[in-house]
Amino acid sequence: MILLTVLASLVFGAFGQQSTFEVFGNVRDDSGKPVNGIRISLTDENYQPINTIFTDSSGRFRFPGLVQGRYQLKIEPAGQPFYEQVLKLDLQAIRIRPGNEPYPVDIVVKRKKEAPPERAAVVFAQQVPDTARSEYEHGVNSLRDNKSDEAIESLKKAVGIFPDYFLALELLGTEYVKRNEFEPAVPILTHALEVNHAASKSLYALGVANIKLNHTAEAIEWLKKCAELDSGNANVYMYMGIAYGNNRELDQAETALKKAYQLGGTQAADAHLYLAGLYNKQERYAEAVKELELYLREATNVKNSAPIKETIIKLKEKAKTKKS
């Protein structure tokens, strides 16, 4: 039982690490074709430049080593026939433990036509009353200024004026999740999905909220729907694996966690911890040892590895006893 306690502390505890993020993804046109050589500029919330890169031949890009905060991605055509886009990123950890968190972004650029370009980052078109839009924009600006309480109030007002305001509902719900206020987040995100059922961000946040509230069956269903829309998001499968594990569906948990690692690679090294916990429960001690050793090799922010090494020793002893 001591071993299980140690593993639980490793999986669900933290060692005082600060979360870092790696923003990565793909740029494709509205036909689904990857866009090569498009320029992407990353700035901080004060619009100070951080880095500028170009997508590779598969349309991929990557910005590693970002600290928690708000950023702006500017997608610049660089002579190609696409509209410029600006995306706001709010890198706030809602994972179970601190560490290096992958943050995948799927960007679709619109080819230039006679019609004017869409506003940046609009993913769901609605006719919104001006008063509601004004409150929503005030909420967005408040979040940019790290005024979460003020943002919450503005977003609540926006939803009060226009109850089906999807962007306000989604932002309000996800902000509640980031504040660890899961109870109010659930009905708001649920309504957001009634308005726009294809909102992967709302699905993901709703899955996280339900896990935190120990509603594992509901969490699994929301995360499965999210995976259908956002199949390249390692975090979705990480949380799905945790939810399946909490629901004692260990085979499904193993599959989901392996998928998370397949997608995220070393950026999803936490998958090794969760897999070790599963294998320990199944008395697959040698496999648990392998996963913990992989975690120590691949995770970059482990400041206290001693408890993990002690657990490896105990697991090896259990593996020997099982063989004899």
Inside any domain, residue 203: no
Task: Please give the Cα distance from 226 to 202 (Å, whole number).
Answer: 8
Least confident of 30-34, 62-66, 285-289: 30-34
Question: Tokens 């502390």 label which residue?
Answer: 9
Averaged confidence pLDDT in the chain: 84
pLDDT in tens, 219-234: 999 999 999 988 888 8
Report the number of distinct structural domains present in the chain. Answer: 1
Q: Which domain holds residue 70?
A: 19-121
Q: Comparing 58 with 137, which gets the higher pLDDT?
A: 137
Q: Comparing 76 with 152, which gets the higher pLDDT?
A: 152
pLDDT in tens, 5-29: 444 444 433 333 456 788 888 888 8
Inside any domain, residue 108: yes
Least confident of 96-110, 179-193, 207-221, 282-296: 96-110
Question: Tokens 């967005």 label which residue?
Answer: 140
The predicted structure's pLDDT at residue 19: 67
Cβ atoms of residues 99 and 301 within 8 Å:
yes
Inside any domain, residue 285: no
Task: Please give the Cα distance from 274 to 131 (Å, whole number).
Answer: 47
Inside any domain, residue 306: no
The predicted structure's pLDDT at residue 30: 79
Mean pLDDT value of segment 133-139: 91
CB atoms within 10 A of CB 313: 10
Q: Comparing 246 with 14, which gets the higher pLDDT?
A: 246
Inside any domain, residue 272: no
The yes-or-no verdict on residue 236 having pLDDT over 60 is yes
Cβ atoms of residues 131 and 161 within 8 Å:
yes
CATH number, domain of 32, equals 2.60.40.10
pLDDT band, very low/low/confident/very high, at 124 (cuts 50, 70, 90)? low
The predicted structure's pLDDT at residue 94: 55
The predicted structure's pLDDT at residue 248: 93
pLDDT band, very low/low/confident/very high, at 191 (cuts 50, 70, 90)? very high
Q: Quick one: three-class SS letters along the chain?
A: CHHHHHHHHHHHCCCCCCCEEEEEEEEEECCCCECCCCEEEEEECCCCEEEEEECCCCCEEEEEEEECEEEEEEEECCCCCECCEEEEEEECCCCCCCCEEEEEEEEEECECCCCCCCCCCCCCCCCCCHHHHHHHHHHHHHHHCCCHHHHHHHHHHHHHHCCCCHHHHHHHHHHHHHCCCHHHHHHHHHHHHHHCCCCHHHHHHHHHHHHHCCCHHHHHHHHHHHHHHCCCCHHHHHHHHHHHHHCCCHHHHHHHHHHHHHHHHHHHCHHHHHHHHHHHHCCCHHHHHHHHHHHHHHCCCCCCCHHHHHHHHHHHHHHHHHHC
Least confident of 140-149, 221-230, 282-291: 140-149
Task: Please give the Cα distance from 144 to 263 (Å, whole number).
Answer: 30
